[in-house]
C-alpha cells in the first residue's frame, strides 16, 4: 500500500514513506496548517489570512502530487496521521526562451493577489541563478514545499523529510537537488545536509500590500537561500 518505508523512528513512532493518494486530504491539511500559516513567504503574502489564496495554492499542490511520484510524507504510525510533508517536483531545462516555466504556468492560473505574490517570489528567486547551467544538468529535483505540524516540531522531522528527498532524487537518477529555504530552521537543515547556498537575499526586498515580508515576519535580518546539492 505504501511502497518503500524509508525510515521508522521507534522513539517518535514516525515513519517516512512515499506520498500515497490515500493520504491526500491529510497531506493538504498539513500544508494548510503548517505551510500556509507559518512559512515566511506565505505570511509575507498574507496567504495565512486568505482562504481563497490557499485554495489557489492547493491547486499547485494537487498538480504536483498527481504529476510526480517523488513527494514524501511523515506518518505518526500509532495515530495513522500525516504530520509532515515534502512536496517535491522534477524540473527540466527549458528548451526555448519563450517557453514558460512550471511556476509561471501555475502563477497564470492563480486568481488571488496573495497566491500570485507567492508564485512571483518563487519565479523571481529561481531566476537569480540558472541552476541547470551552473551545475551542467538538464533536470533537477526540487523540494518545493516543506511543512511539519507545529505540535510535531523540533523533532527532526523536517530534516528527515529533506534527507529522504535526497535519497529519492538519487533513486530517480537525478544529479542535482535544490530548494528555496525561507526560514532560519530550513537554513540549518540545508547546512546540515550539505546544500550549497548559491544565492542569498533579504526579505526586505520583497513586499505585499505595503509591507515587506521581513516586516510581516518581525525579522528584519531574515533572508532566503537558493540552495542546491550535487548528487
Q: Which residues pair with 63 in a beta bridge?
A: none
* pLDDT-derived band at 5, boundaries 50, 70, 90: very low
**Residue 2 counted as domain residue:** no
Model confidence over 128-161: pLDDT tens digits?
A: 999 999 999 999 999 999 999 999 998 999 999 9
Q: Which pLDDT score is estimated for 8?
A: 53
**Residue 206 counted as domain residue:** yes
* pLDDT-derived band at 68, boundaries 50, 70, 90: confident
Residue (of 124, 166, 113) closest to 7 by Cα position: 166
Model confidence over 84-128: pLDDT tens digits?
A: 999 999 999 877 666 777 788 888 889 999 999 999 999 999 999
Model confidence over 160-199: pLDDT tens digits?
A: 999 999 999 999 999 999 999 999 999 999 999 999 999 9
What's the average model confidence in pLDDT over 24-47? 97
Q: If you write DSSP's letter for every residue of 25-57 in order, what string do you get?
A: HHHHHHIIIIIHHHSHHHHHTTGGG-HHHHHHH
* CATH number, residue 151: 3.40.630.30
Rg of the chain taking only CA atoms, in angstroms: 17
First to last CA, the chain: 29
**Residue 203 counted as domain residue:** yes
**Residue 133 counted as domain residue:** yes
22 grid coordinates: 490515500
Residue (of 5, 9, 188, 44) closest to 124 by Cα position: 44
**What is the residue range of 205's domain?**
7-230
Number of domains in the chain: 1
**Residue 28 counted as domain residue:** yes
**Residue 1 counted as domain residue:** no
3-class state of residue 87 by DSSP = strand
Residue 5, C-beta contacts closer than 8 angstroms, at least 6 positions apart = 15, 16, 17
**Residue 82 counted as domain residue:** yes
**Residue 151 counted as domain residue:** yes
- The dihedral sign for the CA sequence 186, 190, 191, 193: positive
CA distance 82 to 117: 28
144 grid coordinates: 518545493
Amino acid at each position: 500500500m505504501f511502497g518503500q518505508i524509508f525510515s521508522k523512528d521507534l522513539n517518535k513512532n514516525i515513519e517516512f514513506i512515499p506520498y500515497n493518494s490515500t493520504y491526500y486530504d491529510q497531506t493538504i491539511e498539513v500544508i494548510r496548517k503548517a505551510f500556509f500559516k507559518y512559512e515566511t513567504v506565505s505570511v509575507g503574502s498574507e496567504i495565512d489570512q486568505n482562504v481563497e489564496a490557499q485554495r489557489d495554492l492547493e491547486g499547485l499542490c494537487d498538480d504536483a502530487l498527481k504529476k510526480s511520484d517523488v513527494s514524501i510524507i511523515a506518518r505518526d504510525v500509532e495515530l495513522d496521521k500525516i504530520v509532515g510533508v515534502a512536496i517535491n517536483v522534477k524540473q527540466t531545462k527549458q528548451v526555448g526562451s519563450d517557453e514558460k516555466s512550471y511556476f509561471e504556468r501555475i502563477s497564470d492560473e492563480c486568481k488571488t493577489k496573495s497566491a500570485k505574490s507567492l508564485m512571483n517570489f518563487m519565479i523571481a528567486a529561481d531566476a537569480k541563478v540558472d541552476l541547470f547551467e551552473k551545475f551542467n544538468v538538464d533536470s533537477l529535483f526540487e523540494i518545493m514545499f516543506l511543512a511539519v505540524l507545529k505540535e510535531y516540531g523540533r523533532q527532526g522531522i523536517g530534516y528527515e523529510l529533506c534527507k529522504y528527498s535526497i535519497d529519492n532524487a538519487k533513486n530517480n537518477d537525478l544529479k542535482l537537488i535544490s530548494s528555496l529555504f525561507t526560514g532560519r530552521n530550513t537554513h540549518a537543515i540545508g547546512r546540515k545536509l550539505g546544500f550549497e547556498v548559491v544565492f542569498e537575499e533579504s526579505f526586505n526586498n520583497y513586499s505585499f500590500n505595503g509591507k515587506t515580508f521581513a516586516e510581516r515576519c518581525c525579522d528584519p535580518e531574515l533572508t532566503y537561500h537558493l540552495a542546491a546539492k550535487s548528487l
